Amino acid sequence: MPANDDLEQLWEDLLSEDAARIRRAWGDLTDAEGVAILAHLRRMRTEPGWQPPQQHAAAQALQVIEAQAQ
C-alpha cells in the first residue's frame, strides 16, 4: 500500500465522485491493492456506521471502477 500521505490522497481521489480522478487512482493500484480497495468500498456502501455521503461516494467509485472493468 502507498505511504500515509499517498494513502490519504488515494482515498480522497477514490471518494471524490469525479470519474477521471477515480479512474486515475484505480489505475495506479496493484492487483492485490485493488482487491482490498474493492472490498473496503463494498463495506462502506453496505455496512452500518458509514455516513450517507460516504456511502454515496463509495457507490460512485464502485460504479466507475466496475464500468471500467467491462
Domain housing 51: 4-69
pLDDT greater than 60 at residue 8: yes
Q: Is the pLDDT of residue 63 over 90?
A: yes
Q: In residues, how long is the chain? A: 70
Count of domains forming the chain: 1
pLDDT digits over 24-50, tens only?
Answer: 999 999 999 999 999 999 999 999 999
Helices and strands counted in the chain (H then E): 4, 0
